[in-house]
Amino acid sequence: MRAEAVSLVEQIKQSVGLLRRHLDVESSTRRLAELNAKSEDPNFWNDAEIAQKLMRERTDLEDRLGSLEKFERELEDAITLVELGEMEGDEDAAQEGVALLKGVKAEAERRQVEALLSGEADGNDTFIEIHSGAGGTESCDWARILLRMYSRWAERHKFKVELIEETPGDEAGIKSATLLIKGHNAHGWAKTESGVHRLVRISPFDSNARRHTSFASAWVYPVIDDKIDIQVNESDCRIDTYRAQGAGGQHINTTDSAVRITHIPSGIVVACQMERSQHKNRATAWNMLRARLYEQELERREAEANKVNATKSEIGWGHQIRSYVLQPYQMVKDLRTGYVSGTPDEVLDGDLDGFMEASLAQRVHGGGPDKVEDVD
């Protein structure tokens, strides 16, 4: 078998072996059988919350075990195709087999990164806050584009997306917004997106069609479940109610149903306006605040472990994690990992997995490019 195919086969076998060890196939298969038996119990859905958690666990195990079987089956099919092509002198068939091996390798490596999502809250749902930065109307429009980008990314993964809060810009776009993304490992995948995002483009708001640079920030933190107890003293908080902004119909814009909570010791501010009921918005805002405080504690631990300063930074020059250049050339570059895409339109339509995988791999394995240069 040709050298390229042999190399791909070895890499795939290595990835699959790591996945098998990480999953512990024997115990996972046994656990899946237990969950299947429980789901057939007539009383299974008596406690809907517990039942849903068990069903999510079952779906996850089915997916991971099924992926291993799929990789092994496709690997054998590709090897057979390459060998038959070489035996019969059919170069097209041999190349088709090599292409199949490359696809299996890419998916196995992606699964390998996903298997490393073992942080305390990696499996949880996640909040993504977006704020416009330096640049006025330009940055508000850029924040709106980021909001759509993360919504599209979530939809690609079949996650559920809810808009918790949105504050429109004065002329266009948004000043801020908060998304709630629900799905297995939603936080684990999205957590490396926190930081400042920089856009370079010809401004649609400039009659002279000049190039502008805009900034917006994303802040990602996990939804916390009942197992995580975060105590918040109400005396440490200021609670404001106000009239909701943006779309929502007559009622939402004519009553003070929106709720903003400021945690004075930390300076954290959260807001919710998605419900007509002030009571429901208040409950959601408290949950968001507990989640932010929990995320802050996780960040503190990581900072101590890695001996780095992980505090939030100003939204502007010198603090960006990624640059999106639409003019005079087209490129998106992550300034932490060096990962590059030459198709900004696809990235802005939610094609973020490559960036996320590179960031996750860097967190796990350390290192990164020797030198990461910014792009103009």
Indicate whether 49 and 164 sit together in one domain. Answer: no
Query: 91-115 and 353-365 are packed helices; what angle lies between their axes, rounded to 10 degrees?
Result: 60
| CA nearest to 178, candidates 38, 331, 266, 281 | 281
Looking at the domain assignment, is residue 23 inside a domain? yes
pLDDT band at 249 (very low <50, low <70, confident <90, very high): very low
Gap between the Cα atoms of 73 and 139, Å rounded: 48
CATH number at residue 22: 1.20.58.410
pLDDT band at 308 (very low <50, low <70, confident <90, very high): very low
Instruction: Give me the pLDDT at residue 345, please.
Output: 95
Kindly state the tokens that stand for 67: 């992926």
Indicate whether 139 and 35 sit together in one domain. Answer: no
User: Are the CB atoms for 177 and 129 separated by under 8 Å?
Assistant: yes
Looking at the domain assignment, is residue 352 inside a domain? yes
Indicate whether 299 and 185 sit together in one domain. Answer: yes
CATH number at residue 307: 3.30.70.1660
Indicate whether 33 and 99 sit together in one domain. Answer: yes
Indicate whether 153 and 110 sit together in one domain. Answer: no
Domain boundary among 115, 140, 173: 115
**Three-state SS letters, 130-189:** EEECCCCHHHHHHHHHHHHHHHHHHHHCCCEEEEEEEEECCCCCEEEEEEEEECCCHHHH
Indicate whether 106 and 140 sit together in one domain. Answer: no
Whole domain around residue 173: which residue ranges?
126-221+294-365
The predicted-structure confidence for 277-293, as pLDDT tens digits, reads as follows: 888 899 899 988 988 88
Q: How many separate domains does the chain show?
A: 2
Looking at the domain assignment, is residue 270 inside a domain? no
pTM for the whole structure: 0.65
Kindly tell me if the per-residue pLDDT of 197 is higher than 80: yes
Indicate whether 133 and 111 sit together in one domain. Answer: no
Kindly tell me if the per-residue pLDDT of 34 is higher than 90: yes
Residues 252, 258, 262: CA angle, nearest 5 degrees:
170
Kindly state the tokens that stand for 370: 């020797």
Average confidence (pLDDT) over 131-157: 92
Kindly tell me if the per-residue pLDDT of 306 is higher than 90: no
Looking at the domain assignment, is residue 247 inside a domain? no
Strand partners, 242: 258
Domain boundary among 60, 83, 115: 115
Domain boundary among 89, 115, 141: 115
What are phi and psi for residue 294, nearest 5 degrees? -65, -45
What value does the mean pLDDT of the chain take? 84
